[in-house]
Amino acid sequence: MKVKKLNIIITLGFIAIIGILIAQLLWTRQAYNLEDKKFNQKVNIALLEVAEKLSGGKAAYMESPVQAISNDYYVVNINNEFHPVVLEHYLKTEFTRFQINTNYAYALYNCHSDKMVYGKYISTHQEAPNHKVINFPKHKNLIYYFSIRFPDKTTYLISSLRFWYILTGALIIILLVYVYSIYTIIQQKKFTELQRDFINNMTHEFKTPLSSILLASEALNKQDLVQENSRLQTYTSIIINQSYKLNSHIEKILNIAKNDSSGLSLKPQKMMLLPFIQEIADTIQQKNEALSIHIDIDNSTSVMADEFHFTNIIYNILDNSIKYCETKPVIAISSYKDSKGLYLKFKDNGMGIPAKNIPHIFDKFYRVSTRKSEEINGFGLGLFYVKKVVQQHNWKISVENNTDKGITTTLFFPFNNKV
């Protein structure tokens, strides 16, 4: 169902953007046509004014003195002799008055040579180039007339619609980004599914032979021959313990893969912090007599947490403090409050973590490369799991090196937290 909804959203988004882009292109085309029509109207009016002045007021009695031969070429009938200098003066004056700010060239008809005589190329931004060659065809049945051409009319119209083209370009970029984002999301989704399937298959293939090893090892350990031989009993105990450890790692991988796709299922409840921590500490100390844990937590301190996942957090933090200690492990657990919330600190005397590695220790499959970490089996999932549970509870976790030795891991429980 989720995949279907995602496909519907992607399709609707794609259709919406395509629709907006098509509408924008149509609006831009219409704006260009309107700008072209407006330009032609201004040129017609300006040339009519020029014709009126050159003909001495006779242009008003002539039928259509201005003829648009093509989109950028006009012929103006004067029906009276005129001088090129006067023509150029009137052209500049009227074009300036009507804000026709584009380059143009004009030519006059010479009745003696029966040819169009090139007049001048007028540039609004720079000196007129001498090499500019523009065609001025002769017009039949006219004697006193001039022609004018706008060679850069298309460029001028496009520049006047710069905002529309920028907006259209931005929409095209947005469409491309959207398509690329959707492609990336789909590829990432495929990769995630492939990764999850691989982990599930891999762990399943591991668990089947591992279960057989555990059953055989436990049956072997109950044999009289093994019970009477301390060396054989030690070997079978090692096999059993390591098998359970490997089984624990496999279960952890399965849980991570499952939680990545569906998230953690939390059942928060009010928990008194001191007895909860004390019970976990006592359990760990029974397995490690050399371990020393000091707890300084107020009796009335409580938190809202999922018991199962919170227990795993504490076990993971304490287990790391023990494993990465090269001397007798000493762990100090304390808590304090301020106006923002409750802080629970775990300070150990371990080997510490290089400062450059601290930002990455919560990443999936990340392990700090040290001699000690190479001796300890693991997949780099413990702290990733801790971080995930902390985020699901809307808590915060941080790690920092102590000034003397070891690290301090801090869990922060905000007072306004709603799990």
Query: Between 347 and 241, where is the model more confident?
Result: 347
**H-only helix segments in 222-337:** 224-228, 230-262, 273-287, 307-323
Query: Residue 374 has what pLDDT?
Result: 54
Task: Output the six-digit token pair for 54.
Answer: 């050159």
Query: Residue 395 has what pLDDT?
Result: 93
Query: Residue 275 has what pLDDT?
Result: 92
What residue ranges in 275-349 does DSSP mark as E strands?
A: 292-296, 302-306, 330-337, 341-348
Task: Output the six-digit token pair for 272.
Answer: 């008194």
- 152-171 tens-digit pLDDT: 888 888 887 777 778 778 87
Q: 128 falls in which pLDDT band (50, 70, 90)?
A: very low
pLDDT above 50 for 31 = yes
d(CA 292, CA 347): 12
Q: 203 falls in which pLDDT band (50, 70, 90)?
A: low
Question: Would the CA dihedral through 284, 285, 286, 290 be positive or negative?
Answer: positive
Question: Would the CA dihedral through 292, 298, 300, 305 be positive or negative?
Answer: negative
* 401, β-bridge pairs: 407
With pLDDT > 90 as the criterion, what percentage of the chain qualifies?
Answer: 12
Lowest mean pLDDT among 5-9, 203-207, 283-287, 372-376: 372-376
- 80-101 tens-digit pLDDT: 777 888 888 888 888 888 888 8
Average pLDDT score over residue span 386-397: 90
pLDDT above 70 for 126 = no
Torsion angles phi and psi, residue 171, rounded to 5: -65, -35
Q: 342 falls in which pLDDT band (50, 70, 90)?
A: very high
- 241-294 tens-digit pLDDT: 778 777 776 766 666 666 655 556 778 899 999 999 998 888 888 777 788 999
Average pLDDT score over residue span 112-139: 66
Query: Residue 130 has what pLDDT?
Result: 47
DSSP label at 406? S
DSSP label at 124? S
- Diameter of the chain by CA atoms? 135
Query: Residue 141 has what pLDDT?
Result: 74
Average pLDDT score over residue span 105-114: 76
Q: Do residues 387 and 373 touch, judged by C-beta distance below 8 A?
A: no
d(CA 44, CA 170): 35
With pLDDT > 70 as the criterion, what percentage of the chain qualifies?
Answer: 85
d(CA 313, CA 266): 14
CA nearest neighbour of 278 among 289, 291, 294: 294
> Quick one: how far is CA 288 from the chain centroid?
48
DSSP label at 176? H
pLDDT above 90 for 312 = no
Q: Do residues 378 and 324 touch, judged by C-beta distance below 8 A?
A: no
Average pLDDT score over residue span 22-40: 85
Query: Residue 26 has what pLDDT?
Result: 85
- 378-388 tens-digit pLDDT: 666 778 888 88
CA nearest neighbour of 106 among 88, 94, 80: 88
